[in-house]
Amino acid sequence: MSPLNPILDNIPTTPGKFKPEKSPLHFLHHRLRLHTTLPKLTLVFLAFIFLFFFLSPPSPTAPRRTLRSTSWENHVKSSAKPRSRAAPIVLVTGAAGFVGSHAAVALKRRGNGVVGLDNFNPYYDVSLKKARKLQLLDRAGVFIVEGDINDAVLLRKLFGLVKFSHVLHLAAQAGVRYAMVNPNSYVESNVDGFVNLLEVAKSVNPQPVIVWASSSSVYGLNSKVPFSEKDRTDQPASLYAATKKAGEEIAHSYNHIYGLSITGLRFFTVYGPWGRPDMAYFFFTRDILKRRPISIYEGAGHVTVARDFTYIDDVVKGCLAAIDTAKKSTGSGGKKKGEAQFRIINLGNTSPVSVNKLVSILEKLLKVKAKKKVVLMPRNGDVPFTHANVTLARKELGYRPTTDLETGLGKFVKWYLEFYDGKKKSSW
């Protein structure tokens, strides 16, 4: 998946002189000399194959990395340089994602060293991720490595190039409903990938601090509101929620055994410019503008569906505050040397808004009447209500969300109209 994996096949496994293989040109010349009776057409064909495969330049989007190719390594080192020695140096996974791109840019702008990692997963429109890279990350000076968190060789390479003080781990398979279509992708990314990252992080010296994205989905069928970090989270309503809860337990074990300092952030329905197309506010906007009908879910017994919508800037502030307040890891080389910090913290807005209210705000901003149809919420893992208690976030992080839904949606709609209108014009 990653174009950055080193090509090691030609390296001898034991010390000694390395005898390079003879070039393809040598063998082709030798073969032609022995077969002088071949028809001219065959000779022309063989020459064409030689020219095509051995003289063609490498693809600019997926260059082949060799042991002598250090261009990407230099970019990584340059991007990782902080403005001051005391500033954190952060590896941001999922950096081309919604929260990841915003967080990486915010870190870079305040003077942190930042390197991004993303596999450009096609779960939703990859062109949107590439646009985030081009218009947000590149402009801010954040270099992004195209690779996968399951690639341990690549992760060890990155940690060998840069002594990261922190990892902001946002790479994940997102979405509740998609788990019914491709369940394995959730285990591969949210469990296997997370373990792979922790395995590498525990072994480096010094160990980095880990701040990572959990989810409000872990509260599952919990009926007590607002949701507090002390509430039960053993009744997940979706596979996505189950993998995020598994991540919390895995994180605790690595904290306990290896001394990794770990903070898990439970995000509550993050929205805003450059958001995810699979989120209701995003596809409602698209369908309202195209005069398509939209489905408004309601719970059993006509229960109103509501979400604690949290604006992207508030969430990013919470992420940066988690980095700034995290204590150092206590392990070294995979061995724990003392108790390490472990935190699970809600990041929400504390003001749930019904889906009906969301739609009415969008109608006002778009100046288009929505074609609504009310349907019973399907049994696909969604829950009818979320509401964050952010008392702990206020105490630990100084977290205070400031953006109400109408203000935040206004910024999203402005971005949406400019971005997609611009795409239409560029395709003319």
Query: Catalytic amino acids?
Result: 240
Nearest by Cα to 306 from 413, 405, 172, 179:
405
CA 86 to chain centre: 26
Distance CA 169, CA 93 (A): 5
CA atoms within 13 A on the CB side of 382: 19
**DSSP E strand stretches across 142-277:** 143-146, 166-169, 209-215, 262-267, 270-271
Q: What share of the chain is helix, strand, coil (3-state, %, to 5)?
A: 45, 15, 40
Distance CA 299, CA 292 (A): 23
Is there a contact between 93 and 167 (Cβ–Cβ < 8 Å)? yes
Distances (CA, A) of 245 to 51, 94, 109, 213, 381: 54, 19, 32, 11, 14
Distances (CA, A) of 206 to 6, 151, 166: 24, 21, 10
Is there a contact between 103 and 324 (Cβ–Cβ < 8 Å)? no
Query: If you write DSSP's letter for every residue of 154-187 in order, what string do you get?
Result: HHHHHHHH---SEEEE------SGGGGT-HHHHI
